[in-house]
């Protein structure tokens, strides 16, 4: 089955709403969480401008492990509490970082990244992983981006868990 999505919004809030609708349609009826992560990473890569990395790290019960993504090859394992992704996972709270070089303990998987948005994926009170978005532009992510990414993840978290 082919999925063709067209995104017409230009304002971040509306663009994220379109992406969330598309993501929900993509994962509908698919029980495999990794397959759903792969499609959602590709969809975000297509829909959201000015990214150089978009994807997931999955929580294996001890650390974050690289999951499906779009962009350059990335770090494979991230301990909880390390870097932006590890902080988001440990705190179960989104991390929006305007300047990754100013973030203590930032893990530079792609030297071109200048800002980052990480949203934890939690389903049934269980940490599934994190959505990680990187941009080569400092200050790329706004509060609208954060709210939109959080809303998208909230709508599909169960499908990303494979439940």
- In the predicted model, is pLDDT for residue 159 greater than 80? yes
In contact, 149 and 117? CB cutoff 8 Å: yes
What are the backbone dihedrals phi and psi of residue 18, each rounded to the nearest 5 degrees, phi first? -60, -45
Q: Give pLDDT tens digits for 81-91.
A: 999 999 999 99
Rounded Cα distance, 132 and 137, in Å: 15
Q: Give pLDDT tens digits for 97-136.
A: 999 988 877 777 777 899 999 999 999 999 999 999 999 9
Q: Parallel, antiparallel, or unpaired for β 95-97 and 53-59?
A: unpaired
- CA-to-CA separations, 14 to 10, 41, 126, 132, in angstroms, rounded: 7, 18, 29, 20
- The answer regarding whether domain 12-161 maps to CATH 3.30.450.40 reads yes
Domain boundaries, the chain: 12-161
Taking the whole predicted model, whether its pTM rises above 0.85 is answered as: yes
Task: Quote the pLDDT of residue 162.
Answer: 75
Task: Quote the pLDDT of residue 163.
Answer: 55
């Amino acid at each position: 089955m082919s999925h063709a999505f067209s995104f017409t919004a230009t304002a971040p809030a509306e663009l994220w709403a379109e992406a969330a609708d598309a993501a929900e349609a993509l994962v509908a009826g698919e029980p495999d969480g990794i397959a759903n992560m792969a499609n959602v990473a590709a969809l975000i890569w297509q829909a959201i401008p000015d990214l150089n990395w978009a994807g997931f790290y999955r929580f294996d019960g001890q650390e974050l492990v690289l999951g499906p993504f779009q962009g350059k090859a990335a770090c494979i394992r991230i301990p909880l509490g390390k870097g932006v992704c590890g902080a988001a996972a440990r705190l179960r709270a989104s991390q929006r970082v305007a300047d990754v070089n100013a973030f203590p303990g930032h893990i530079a998987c792609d030297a071109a990244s200048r800002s980052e948005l990480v949203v934890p994926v939690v389903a049934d009170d269980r940490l599934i992983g994190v959505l990680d978005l990187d941009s080569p532009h400092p200050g790329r992510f706004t509060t609208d981006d954060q709210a939109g990414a959080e809303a998208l993840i909230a709508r599909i978290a169960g499908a990303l868990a494979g439940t």
